[in-house]
């Protein structure tokens, strides 16, 4: 996440008193624009061998983790929240590889899902399975668009 | 003291309205707003900083937002998060901070010193309340305190002491009915009732304390006349009571201290507060000046009650003098003193009867010290108490 954000010109912070179910806050500093900053909050889940059904990753979440993400923006949250799924190899030693002199490779990929507005789980339900679309690949461009909420601004930002 | 506030309950307890009021009172302006939050900036700084404030404290992660905001404010204002949080909480109060520097471990002071300091602070606040209650400016304030002043004293609160080195905080509520406002907020003010008298007291406290500080410094610079710089400032509100209180606040050891003032966030005052730093020398001078004022300036309109213990009439037409062993109204029984006064013939006869019948008398006048004697000058209303 840090690397993707850095490649998108965004800041990543981890607050001392972080909201429950939130791992990182990603901030876009927009000089000369109002508001001066835009931000999102993400819950990051690193998983191996994730099931895929109909082009969707199927991810199990505990009720508490799910309820940190399914609220309504501007009612339950003042900042948009997303789930980020990082698919990783079975063994941690495979997470990244140094390539030639000029690059290193991360394995495998990160995807995002918007669970905001989904109904709460019944109080008797301890966990749920959510879908993360395979098409929601978290690239630097996609991350900027999530943060600023505007495709055109994201394009301008990345080409500036 | 550099500490971070991360107690979720404490942060959750601060309403957006309180924080919004604090921010706008400190020059932050709304630059962006949506249904859920405001973005505010301090536009007058070279490198503007932005903070986000949720409009509703029921949003998830609210304590985290407040914690982030406090961190930014602490950096911008170069003050502790605790201090800022305190002012956000008590945004409806004028706050006077008494920070003293006693010997020993920071955050502690001798019990005896603490007792003296608190007694001094109480007198200090009372001197301001008395000053604000009347247009009369006298070097010695009346012993019988105006009703407004005594009522005011009932409202004054003392906050939990802070460390660094030892800070007493006096709070004066300025708004009646101040409470958590419902959203949407009617910014930046509140639909409360402004307590004009309470604000008059706090500004009087600030201005008179500044006068006392200035007088002490003036004397320390030229060291010619102790009385002059203090007497000159009586007309503006300086009094022996104020000087005594400020001296007592330093305790017998004359512990240095500083006094700072801040006005309720949503009711800015026209007076710009500043920090007044009293060193041991200034505190000693204030004590001496208070004594000098007591010895040389009349204490006006004092009513004495007591027994006639001396009657002097040197000739039929000469002055008729008596001494009353008694005390001024409102003073405890153990502070009986002798008061000299002159009476006319009729009053003198009454005094003789009271003396013969062992009855108490009552009289009003201005107490003036001549040598070791206390004279009641311009005495009137002499009567026997039945």
Asked whether residue B185 carries a pLDDT value surpassing 50, the answer given is no
Mutation target to probe the A interface, by most A beta carbons within 10 A, among B60, B65, B67, B71 is B60
Three-state DSSP state, B31: strand
* Nearest residue, CB atoms, B65 vs list A34, A35, A78: A78
Chain A residues 54-113 with CB within 8 Å of chain B: 68, 71, 73-79
| CA distances to A107, B283, B344, B377 from B313, in Å | 113, 46, 11, 18
> pLDDT tier at A43 (50, 70, 90 boundaries)?
very high
User: Residue B56: its chain A contacts at CB < 8 A?
Assistant: 78
Chain A residues inside the 8 Å CB shell of B59:
75-78
Q: Provide, rounded to the nearest whole percent, the portion of chain B with pLDDT above 70.
A: 93
A20 vs B contacts (CB less than 8 Å) = 60-61
Instruction: Report residue B161 as tokens.
Output: 């002491």
Whole-angstrom distance, CA of residue A134 vs CA of residue A137? 6
Residue of B nearest to A77 (CA): B59
Q: For residue B331, what pLDDT band results from cuts at 50, 70 and 90? A: low
pLDDT in tens, B58-117: 999 899 999 999 999 998 888 889 889 988 888 888 999 999 999 888 888 999 999 999
Instruction: Chain B: give the shortest CA distance to residue A16, in Å.
Output: 7
Q: Which two tokens stand for residue B254?
A: 């004359």
Give me chain A's average pLDDT, please: 93
Higher pLDDT, B28 or B183: B28
Residues pairing with A12 in the sheet: A26
Closest chain A residue to B8, measured at CA? A17
Our CA-based measurement puts residue A96 at a distance from the nearest CA of chain B, in whole angstroms, of 33
Name the burial class of residue B267, with classes exposed (0-12), middle (13-18) and buried (19+) by CB atoms within 10 angstroms of its CB: buried
Partner residue facing B35 (CB), from A15, A35, A74: A74
State the nearest Cα–Cα gap between A71 and chain B, in angstroms.
9
Q: Give the pLDDT confidence of B156-184 residue by residue, as tens digits.
A: 999 988 777 889 999 999 875 544 443 33
Q: B135, B148 in Cβ contact below 8 A?
A: no
The confidence score (pLDDT) of residue B187 equals 42
Contact B181, B248 (CB under 8 A): no
Q: Are A147 and A26 in contact (CB under 8 A)?
A: yes
What was the pLDDT predicted at B180? 42
Cβ pair A78:B68 closer than 8 A: no
Tell me which chain B residues have a C-beta less than 8 angstroms from the C-beta of A69.
none
Please report which confidence band the pLDDT of residue B333 belongs to, taking 50, 70 and 90 as the band edges. low
CA distance A99 to chain B (A): 39
Which range among A10-19, B42-51, B58-67, B190-199 shows the weakest confidence by mean pLDDT? B190-199
Identity of the residue in A17, A34, A71 whose CB atom sits nearest the CB atom of B63: A17
**A144-148, B215-219, B300-304: the lowest-pLDDT one:** B300-304
For B377, list phi and psi in degrees, rounded to 5: -85, 150
- Is B37 close to A34, i.e. CB distance below 8 A? no
> What is the pLDDT confidence band of residue B370, given thresholds at 50, 70 and 90?
confident
- B chain contacts of residue A41, beta-carbon cutoff 8 Å: 61
Instruction: Look at the block and give the residue holding tokens 């004009």.
Output: B196
* Helix ranges restricted to H, chain B: 8-12, 16-25, 62-77, 81-89, 111-133, 147-155, 196-222, 227-232, 240-249, 280-296, 345-357
Higher model confidence: residue B272 or residue B116? Answer: B116
B193: confidence class by pLDDT, cuts 50, 70, 90: low
Alpha carbons within 13 A on the beta-carbon side of B241: 23
For B152, B198, B201, B245, the CA distances from B130, given in Å and listed in that order, are 10, 12, 8, 13
């Amino acid at each position: 996440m840090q690397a993707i954000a850095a490649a998108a010109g965004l800041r990543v912070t981890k607050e001392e008193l972080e909201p429950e179910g939130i791992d990182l806050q990603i901030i876009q500093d927009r000089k000369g624009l109002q508001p001066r900053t835009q931000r999102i909050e993400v819950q990051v889940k690193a998983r191996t061998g994730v099931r895929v059904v109909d082009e969707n990753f199927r991810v199990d979440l505990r009720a508490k983790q799910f309820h940190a993400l399914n609220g309504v923006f501007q009612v339950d949250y003042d900042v948009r929240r997303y789930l980020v799924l990082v698919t990783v190899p079975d063994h941690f030693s495979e997470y990244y590889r140094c390539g030639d002199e000029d690059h290193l490779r991360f394995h495998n990929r990160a995807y995002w899902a918007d669970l905001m507005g989904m109904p709460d789980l019944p109080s008797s339900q301890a966990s749920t399975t959510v879908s993360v679309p395979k098409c929601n690949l978290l690239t630097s461009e996609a991350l900027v668009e999530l943060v600023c909420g505007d495709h055109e601004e994201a394009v301008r930002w990345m080409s500036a | 003291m550099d500490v971070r506030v991360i107690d979720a309950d404490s942060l959750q307890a601060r309403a957006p309205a309180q924080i919004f009021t604090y921010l706008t009172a400190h020059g932050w302006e709304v630059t962006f707003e949506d249904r859920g939050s405001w973005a505010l900036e301090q536009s007058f700084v070279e490198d503007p900083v932005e903070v986000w404030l949720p409009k509703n404290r029921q949003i998830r992660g609210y304590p985290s937002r407040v914690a982030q905001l406090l961190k930014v404010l602490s950096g911008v204002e170069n003050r502790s998060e605790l201090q800022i949080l305190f002012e956000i909480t008590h945004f409806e109060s004028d706050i006077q901070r008494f920070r003293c520097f006693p010997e020993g471990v920071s955050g502690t002071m001798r019990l005896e010193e603490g007792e003296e300091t608190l007694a001094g602070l109480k007198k200090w606040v009372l001197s301001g309340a008395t000053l604000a209650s009347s247009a009369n400016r006298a070097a010695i304030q009346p012993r019988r305190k105006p009703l407004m002043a005594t009522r005011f004293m009932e409202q004054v609160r003392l906050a939990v002491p802070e460390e660094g080195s030892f800070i007493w905080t006096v709070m004066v509520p300025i708004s009646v009915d101040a409470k958590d406002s419902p959203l949407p907020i009617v910014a930046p003010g509140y639909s409360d009732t402004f307590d004009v008298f309470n604000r008059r007291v706090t500004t009087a406290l600030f201005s008179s304390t500044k006068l006392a500080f200035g007088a002490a410094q003036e004397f320390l610079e030229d060291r010619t006349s102790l009385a002059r710089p203090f007497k000159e400032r009586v007309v503006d509100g300086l009094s022996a009571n104020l000087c005594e209180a400020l001296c007592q606040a330093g305790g017998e050891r004359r512990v240095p201290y500083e006094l700072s003032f801040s006005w309720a966030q949503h009711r800015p005052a026209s007076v710009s507060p500043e920090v007044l730093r009293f060193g041991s020398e200034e505190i000693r001078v204030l004590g001496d000046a208070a004594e000098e004022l007591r010895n040389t300036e009349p204490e006006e309109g004092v009513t004495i009650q007591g027994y006639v213990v001396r009657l002097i009439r040197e000739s039929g037409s000469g002055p008729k003098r008596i001494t009353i062993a008694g005390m001024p109204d409102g003073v405890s029984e153990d502070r009986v003193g002798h008061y000299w006064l002159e009476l006319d013939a009729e009053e003198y006869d009454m005094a003789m009867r009271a003396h013969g019948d062992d009855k108490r008398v009552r009289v009003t006048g201005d107490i003036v010290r001549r040598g070791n004697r206390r004279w009641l000058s311009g005495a009137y209303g002499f009567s026997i108490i039945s």
